[in-house]
Every structure is written in C-alpha cells, then in structure tokens.
Structure 1
Amino acid sequence: MAEVRLASIRKAFGGNVVVDGLDLTVSDREFLTLVGPSGCGKSTTLRLVSGLDQMTSGQVYFDDQPVGHLPPNKRDVAMVFQSYALYPHRTVAQNIGFALRMMRVPKPDIDQRVHRTAEALNISELLDRKPRELSGGQRQRVALGRAIIRDAGAYLLDEPLSNLDAQLRGDMRVELKRLHAELNRTFIYVTHDQVEAMTMSDRIAVLNHGVLQQCAPPEQIYQRPANTFVAAFMGSPPMNFFTGQLVDSDGERFFRGKACAVPLTPEAAHVAQSLPDGEVVLGIRPEDVTLSNGSGALRGKVFVAEPLGADVLVTVDLGGELVKSRVPAPFRTSIDSTVGVLLDPARIHLFSAADGTALHSPTTT
C-alpha cells in the first residue's frame, strides 16, 4: 500500500514555475484527482511523483520514505498516459504482460496474470489481436491492463480518457471506479474534466498556476469552494458572479450590485457584520436561480436558451450583466422576451472582491 506525500514541491523550467510549493498528502488507497485548466501543473505533478521529471526543490515520500532520488523503475508506481503508448507489433496479451517479462516473471505466472487482468477489464476475447485492430476504448483498456498487472502501490493516471468519445468516457469512468475498489490501491488521477473529477474521486485537488487552491471531497468543493477560481472552475455551467457592496436598509443587511439587490440570511449577515463597507462578490449556482414573476423578481431579457435534455440553461441579461439559470424542461421562450429572475438568498456565496477568498457559503441541505 502507499501513502503519497508531496512536501513543498517546486518545479521550474528555466524561469517558468510550473509547480509552486505544493504540499499534498494522498492517503493510502484513496482516489485523488488533480484538476485544473491546461498548464496548471497537474500533469507535471504526476510526473514528479512517478520520477519521470525531477523536482527543482522539495521531496516526494512514499509511506514516509523519501523517493525523490529514485528513478521511475525503482518507485512502486504504475502509470497510464493520455496516449495509449501500446507496442503496435505486439498482441494485446504481449502488451499487457510486457512489464512482467522485463521483471523476468516466469511465463506461466505471466499468462495467468494476463488472463486474470483481461477478465477484470472485459477484454479476454482480444488477447490475440494487435492494437491496430482495436477501438479507442479497447486500446484504453489494454493500457490500463498493462498498468494494473504490476500490482503497484500507487497507480498514476494522466488524462487516460481524453481521447475517447462522450459515451465511452462515461463507461470507462464506471470501470475505473470499480477497478479502484477491486484493486484497493492508491489512485492519483489527472484530468481537466470536472465531471470525471466529481464522479470518481474521494477528494479533488484543484490547481491553478501551479498553486493548490483547495483539496476536499467533491461535495465540499462544489458546495463550499475556497475562492472564486474554484467556484468558477468546478461547475458546469460555472457559478454566477456579481460585484457589489454590503449595505444596511431598514435594519436589514443587503448585497447591492449593479443588476440586483439581495437580502442576506441571518447567517450571511452575521459574517457580513465583520466586513468593511467595501466591494464583495456574490456568487450563486445556476440551479439556485429561478425564473419567476413572483414578488421581488428582477426583470431581464432572455439572451439565449440552451436545451440540455431534462433541463434548459437560460441566460438572462439583467441590465448589462448576464445570469444563467438551470430550469426544468420544457422551457419555451424567444430571445429578448422579458422574464422574472429570483436569486435564492439562502443559496448565495460571498467572496472577497480583493483576492476572491470565500467569506460565506450557504448551509448544505
């Protein structure tokens, strides 16, 4: 088994700092996902754990043992890459068993473990085929088989599903989650796809410009984001944001922005008491924005409506600011038609306008 700990990891390519002072512990048998935009340092972090890249400073520990000085083949890890990197002239069975042959494992043992691995990945009927005869999903399963046959302490997966179509990605997410439970090993997974991160992970580590923004279970990442970057990145569509001020009116505390005025709940007002009367950012998820002509509704014009199947994503122009609402289908309206918009006061987030730090999140229901 393997607990993986990164202590003050820094990686620079010349003057370009890709990973900047990263402290992160991945618990034994945990499924942790590194997520963030392109260039945020997530793949580089995985390569530092594997030993494929060397750190500028800091240390990587496996079960409290420093491994920064060890080459990749001396670390108890197996890696799956975005590109399948299969040997085209070898069969599926030979590709899966290649690492064991390099380790001089006896052939009967290799054959037994190859067949067991193929059964786990539902590719037993493909063992005699060459990679060119396989679909993208089948090749990905072979690449996974080549990794898991090693029985490593930790499995490192670098965007392994990004080359698959949407349906195959969904199928493979289920397979990977099941595989993690069966192997009972540490998984560190890299993706830019927040759906993969939310559905598969025990915890998610969000990176931006090589700096860890937040590391928490998926529900906490979504419901209690640490800052505006996490709130915007983890959510499809992202959270709505309004910049404004906290003001008092008739004994109540309000958020007042260019397009809206929202009363604060007692919990939010309590937090707001300690804040100076300066700018803050109000955030609210699209599912907490309803379209209604009820009391207190803001008036806006439909900018666009995007059917999503069971839901419709409606973007409304509120006096020059766009707000997105996720409403149940069917929703039929025309562009520029007037609608009422209600922001649920119990579901608002407050962030510092200065640095984006979270000041208040709604109580989880």
Structure 2
Amino acid sequence: MNEPLRAKVTMLDVANHAKVSRTTVSFVLSGNTDAGISDETRLRVQKAVSELGYRPNASARALASKESKLYGLITEIVTGPYAMDIVRGAQEQAALEGRMLLIASTDGTDKSERKAIEMMLEHRVAGLIYATAWHRGVNLPDTISEVPAVLVHCFDQNGKLPSITPDERAGGHTAAMRLIDAGHRRIGMINLDPTIPAAIGRREGYTFALAQEGIALDEGLIINAGGEADQGYQAAFSLLNAADPPTAIFCATDRMAMGAYDAIKERGLTIGEDVSVIGFDNQELISNYLRPSLTTIALPFREMAALGVRSLAEIASGNYGPVRETLVGCSLIERSSVGVPHRSR
C-alpha cells in the first residue's frame, strides 16, 4: 500500500519548530551573513530544516539572484462576477513590467489569509496585491509587510499599507446628477447597510448632488436595505407606495435595481418613462441583460488592480511616498433605463 502524502512543510513551520521568526529562517537559508544571526541560531534553524524535511521550492533561484519575476495576487473573488477584471488588470500591468502573476484564493478568514500569504512568500514574490469583493477595512497578518504590498478595494485598519479604492462619493454624485440632468427632482435612493464605506460614500454623493442643484433632501426617499434583488424589490415597492413617490430611483447595487424593476413593472409602470432607474457596480450579467438595459455606475476593478501593480514597483524603489489611500473614479455606463419624467407623479 502506498504511504499517504505528507503535508508540505513551509518556511513558517521551520520557524515555529526552531522558535525563531520566519525572517530569520529566510536569512539563514539565503546565506545572509549580515543579519546579526548567531551561530547557535543558525544551527537550530538548520536542524529544524533537517528534522522537518523542508525543501525550498523552485523559487529558490530567486534567493540566489535576489530578483523575482513574480507578483502575487491574493483575492476572495477568484470566481465572483468581478474576478476577470481584477485578474486581467493585474496580469496586464505585470506583463508590462516583465513579470508573471501568481494567484491565490482566500475565504477571508485569518487562517486562510495567513496560508495564502505564506505561500506567496515561499515563492519569493516581488510584491503582493490583496483584493476584496466588497469595500471594507481589513486587518491582515504582519507577514504581508515582508514584501511591497498594496490593498485593492479595501483599506488597512492599522494604516500601515497603501490602498486603491473606488471613489464611492464621486460615483454617487455622478448617478444622482444623471437623474437630475434628465429633469428629475423626486429621486429615491435604495442604499446598502449605512455603516459600510460604499453606502456612506454613495449616499454622500447623492445628497451633495441634490444640495448642489437646490433640491431639498427628503429622508423619506432613502431606504437602507441589503444588496440583493429581493431587498431592492421591497424597498422600491415602499417608495412607489408613498403619497408623493419618486420619478427616479438610484439603487446602490445592480442587484437591487433588478428587484426594483420587478416592483415598477408590477404596478404597470414603464421603466425609463414613468420611473427611471440607475444602478451601481456594472455587474454586466445583470445590467446588460435587463430590459430595458440598466444605466449604471461601474466599479473600476480592472483599473484598481493595474494601479495596484504599478504601485508595487514604486514602493520597491522608494518613490511611493507616505502610506495613502488612492481613489479611482467610477464611470457612468449609459444604457436605456433613464429618461425624462413625462408626467407629474
């Protein structure tokens, strides 16, 4: 009977066995003599390597050359609706810099993130991109700082790592202005959980546009909901049942817009004529195939990923400056769901 395969021993396993840091193990294995590591510590690391059967992977060539041709992308959205844009943006920019992209998935748990980061460090990546499915603060293991690292669609709660995030406020402003420019003055908003960055920014943009155009804010036209179609349906149903219903609805996600479509049609109203709708995200499997197709605001995943990769080289060269959050604009995608209000509601 064949013996079961042993789990792969990592550099972190060696570090834990020798009771030293992972960085110390890296210095010992690379032959670094300038790190102030004692002979006793070096022997302890070498003994741990022998006892555990640790074998450096193919990327050991980078240890000798001090140069890696790999960038790493760690993301929880490998199979999500925006995965292609994230991967394509990072791959294209990495190729322009003569590097390849190594991709690892994570489920967002601390254990999963530590494992993914460790795998990337084992492969001696020259830099790391960490991307999330939704805009939020993250608290990542300290080991991510062993190489240049940039966050995409999220930000470091400890303020140590630079980030590339969508300009949610400007996106909300663009959405509201598109409806205002079409002639709407009663504009409802179906928003996300009001405590998350996307909801905060999109509402700020919406309210700023109203104030800019001298339109009084009506809190009764704003409903906080989840991001799914059923919640969009319920919120739109409530808005349309109001004594003075809106002639247009700004939905903070395309999924909620899909639900709003159903509520509008159930009342015998026509989208783009009786009630205009604008979404946010540009989730194309939804926005492009709704009838009428949905005018929406695009999240710039491809651009954010490319900018994240470009930033790695700047960080490595010392030209990036202080840690900062870089905002990327969200474009208006014009389709067919916004029209001129043709009668008083």
- Give the alignment's TM-score, normalised by structure 2: 0.29
Give the number of the structure whose residues are more often strand, by fraction.
1
Higher helix fraction (1 or 2): 2
TM-score norm. by structure 1 comes to 0.28
